[in-house]
Structure 1
Amino acid sequence: MATYTRMVHRQTVVNDVRLHYVEAGDDDDETIVLLHGFPECWYSWHEQIPALAKEYHVVAPDLRGYNRSEKPHGVDAYRMSELTADVVELIREFGDSGHLVAHDWGGGIAWNVAARHSDVVDTLSILNAPHPGAFERELRRNGEQRRKSWYMAFFQLPWLPEWWLTRRDCAAFDEILREGASTPDAFSDADVERYKEAFSKPGAATSAINYYRSVIREEAKNLVPFVDGDVAARDVDVPTLLLWGEDDMALVPELTEGLDRWVSDLTVQRIPDASHWVQMDAPERVNEELLAFVGKRS
């Protein structure tokens, strides 16, 4: 089988959707799948891919609707059941199971994959993405989390969120990314331009916002965010690492508490000087934690 010593761009069709992904490392090694968040793309892992590829076969997709991946039309195309099926089938493209690492919206999907399809997840590593039970709890009792989540309501409006995010060459990204980071050099000019270019592709802005539109519709039906179906899938029985940048502009630190109720094998590592963009603020620390955690369970 082939050995890849550099990042290679590839495409595959899973769950009837064409996904672009970046691959690195030796494909005889165990696979790690990296799931990005909003408003990112595979590039959000560019500091992690080279480090992880020394020991693992790394696959970093653009989630459906993002960057070079296909952008299905309609809000229902971004239901959690569809997003979960994408990831499950992608993991199975490379073997029976793999390690799952995910940030932000990718983390929302990864929690659901681990809860509903534990057979395909060897380990779960989550970066600043709330467990659905904890998120529901804090939205109910924590006024600060409700305040921080204002944008989820804003994203329910037609066309206005797309206009706001893409106006003046995606000027909002400078605030969301650069000003939201804890370290001044977390995002270079070139980094921000990559994200702007990816988000400016036809249909990308609407697709990304449709994640939020869909989850609110499902929440209204199920009363549980980030979960698709009549029965909430919350219990996670795979080894789980939660890496949490404490200086998070969108998520309160209480979301890291009380998770033993749902996660049977949990390790929590809090990073005080990192923001929501923890893998950019503290790339070396994140790489060390991921390699140590996954290595123990391999």
Structure 2
Amino acid sequence: MTKSACIQSISVWNQAHIHLFSFLFGFWVLSKRLVRWLWRPQDSAELRARDTPPACLVDSSLGQHKHVKLKGVKLHYVEAGSKDNPVVLLLHGFPDFWLSWRYQIPTLSRHFRVIALDLKGFGDSDKPAWRSSYKIDTVLEELTQFVYSLGVSSCTVIGHDLGALLGWYLVHQNSSIVNKFVSVSCPHPNVYWNASKSVKWLNYVQLPYLPEIDALKEDVKIIDQYFKHLGPKDVDAYKYTFSRQDDWTGPLNYYRNLPLSKISEPLKQVQVPVVLVVGSKDPFVHLETVVKSTEFCETFRLQIVDDCGHFPHQENQQAFNSLLVKHLVDSRRSSAVDGGSVTSPSKRLISGLFGAVSNTVKYGNTVIGNVQKKTNDVVNSIPSFNLNYNNSSSQS
């Protein structure tokens, strides 16, 4: 499939740079692993057998487990809520699957038809092994066809991490199928890769096989590292889901493809209302990337959930759900009362967390002042993201 007009490949030089460093970093990792194995062979603990799915994965209390077969792939999803309600599509991150949204499904299903999808390569969806199956245009076409398979022409998209990254591409390429877009812990793709703290890891995963094997070491220790905020039962569900080498190939293939593409510039601003939700302690999202993301959006709002890291929807689900309801449900009611008009985001706060940022905000030495000006000076501690949800709510 050829790339769409809004997506282009990065330069040949940048691609060569990635693959060169991939080789060098892979050689370094292999050498390090060999030395460690020779010195402390006991650290290479065997992978614990996990043959029976945990109860939470077969429990239908969160919704109905369904499958849809598109042209070349079968996708699994969990559906909850009335079919008469507008559709909200939930796209999880990495390494994750539909269960990521277990705290949001009951709340959202009171107002929406909720679809929590297992992205291709994850969970119970098909897991094609070929790297080319995860090219961005292929994935976006499949997501578009998936939305149409639900019997609707458009929906609200809420994505976390990798799912949000795909959401950004989707609103640029096919904004007609997205009513609103909520990006959780993920700035715009054109600033995401350059600002990533995981450059070495991104280079490393370009290698075949080795990253998959590495992910399984020490009984899938990577899951313990990513999900320190979860209890033992939830961690066990994740380890079951990612307990085979094949469970990692698909997820890693996204990162073997996505860094090689970007949104074409100059580009038209996203017309879909965009909300970026970040945790105040997220180590992967920085103020500069947030401000740069505003340049790509006509309407942009930032929501900060206090005392949370990269998984605000899991770490503080009550605050996160509250802001979702405020944005998706209350704003819809207000729009209906106002005859369809929408207040400019630079003049209104959502749930009192962080004011809206509309259109282009220049960054640099004056970034703090510019953002505070856009938010009517309600934010005085942006550098540390120390915003208190409860206290801020009283200011709205």
Per the normalisation by structure 2, the TM-score is 0.65
Number of the residue aligned with 2:257:
214
User: Does 2:179 match 1:122?
Assistant: yes
Query: Could you list the per-position Cα deviations for residues 100-119 of structure 1 after superposition, in whole angstroms to 9, with x for gaps in the alignment?
Result: 00000001100011111111
Equivalent residues of 1:14, 1:90 under 8 A apart: yes
Shift of 1:6: 4.7
Alignment match, 1:107: 164
Q: How does 1:88-103 map to 2 (within 5 A)?
A: 88-94=144-150, 95-103=152-160
Match of 2:219 in 1: 169
Q: Do 1:23 and 1:57's aligned partners in 2 also have CA atoms closer than 8 Å?
A: yes
- Relative CO higher for 1 or 2, CA cutoff 8 Å, sep ≥ 6? 1
Match of 1:279? 313
**CA distance, structure 1, for counterparts of residue 266 and residue 248 of structure 2:** 29
1:244 alignment partner in structure 2: 278
Distance 1:259 1:163, change over 3 A: same
- What SS is found at the alignment partner of 2:145? helix
Asked if 1:199 is matched to 2:242, the reply is: yes
SS in 1 for 2:308: strand
- Shift in alpha-carbon separation, 1:210–1:109, aligned structure 2, 3 A: same
CA contact 1:244–1:278 (8 Å) conserved in 2: yes
Query: Comparing both structures, which one devotes a greater share of its residues to strand?
Result: 1
- Verify the 8 A CA contact 1:103 1:126 in the aligned structure 2: yes
1:1-16 counterparts in 2 under 5 A? Answer: 6-16=62-72
Aligned to 2:140: 84
The residue number in structure 2 matching 1:150 is 200
Structure 2 CA distance for aligned equivalents of residues 166 and 234 of structure 1: 42
SS at match of 2:81: strand
2:146 and 2:266 map into 1 onto residues whose CA distance is 23
| Residue 150 of structure 1, CA deviation | 2.7
Please give the per-residue CA displacement for 1:154-200, whole angstroms capped at 9, x wherever unaligned: 2112222111211232112111221xxxxxxx311111111111112
Alpha-carbon shift at residue 270 of structure 1 (Å): 1.6
Structure 1 range deviating more: 75-84 or 163-172 = 163-172
Equivalent position amino acid for 1:117 in 2: N
Q: Verify the 8 A CA contact 1:116 1:233 in the aligned structure 2.
A: no
Q: 1:237-284, CA deviations, whole angstroms, 9 ceiling, x for partnerless residues?
A: 111111011322333332211333111111111223111111111111
What is the rounded CA distance, in whole Å, between the counterparts of 1:234 and 1:133 in structure 2? 13
Please state whether the residue corresponding to 1:39 is helix, strand or coil.
coil
Conservation of the 8 A alpha-carbon contact between 2:278 and 2:285: no
Partner of 1:181: none
Contiguous gaps of at least 5 residues in structure 1: 140-144, 179-185
CA distance in 2, matches of 1:87, 1:244: 24
What is the RMSD of the two structures over their aligned residues, measured on CA atoms? 2.0
Number of aligned residues: 272
Distance 1:192 1:274 in 2: 18
Where do 5+ consecutive residues of structure 2 fail to align? 1-59, 334-396
| SS of aligned partner of 1:10 | strand
Equivalent residue of 2:171, what SS?
Answer: helix
Cα deviation code 1:8-59 (max 9, x no counterpart):
1000023421000000011111110000010000000000001100111000
- Match of 2:88, SS? strand
Q: Percent identity?
A: 27
Higher gyration radius (CA): 2
**2:90 equivalent to 1:34:** yes
| Structure 1 pair 31–147 and aligned structure 2 pair: CA distance change class (3 A) | closer
* Greater shift in the superposed pair: 230-239 or 267-276: 230-239
* Compared CA separation, residues 162 and 262, structure 1 to 2 (3 A): same
Q: Distance in 2 between matches of 1:264 and 1:120?
A: 17
Task: Return the alpha-carbon distance in structure 1 between the equivalents of residues 95 and 139 of structure 2.
Answer: 16
Q: CA shift at 1:133, angstroms?
A: 2.5
Offset at residue 123 of structure 1 (A)? 0.6
- Residue deviations 1:102-156, cap 9 Å, x none? 00000110001111111110110110012012325xx2xxxxx454433211211
Cα 1:85–1:282, aligned 2, differ >3 Å: closer, same or farther? same
Indicate how the Cα distance of structure 1 residues 54 and 201 shifts in structure 2: closer, same or farther if over 3 A, else same. farther
Deviation at 1:60, TM superposition (A): 0.5
TM-score of the superposed pair, with normalisation by structure 1: 0.85
1:207-254 Cα distance to aligned partner (Å, 9 max, x none): 1111111123x34xxxx3xx5xx7786731111111011322333332
Bigger drift between 100-109 and 8-17 goes to 8-17
CA contact (8 A) 1:108 1:132 kept: yes
Does the CA-based 8 Å contact 2:164-2:183 persist in structure 1?
Answer: yes
Who is 2:32 aligned against? Answer: none
> What CA distance in whole angstroms lies between the structure 1 residues aligned with 2:141 and 2:159?
15
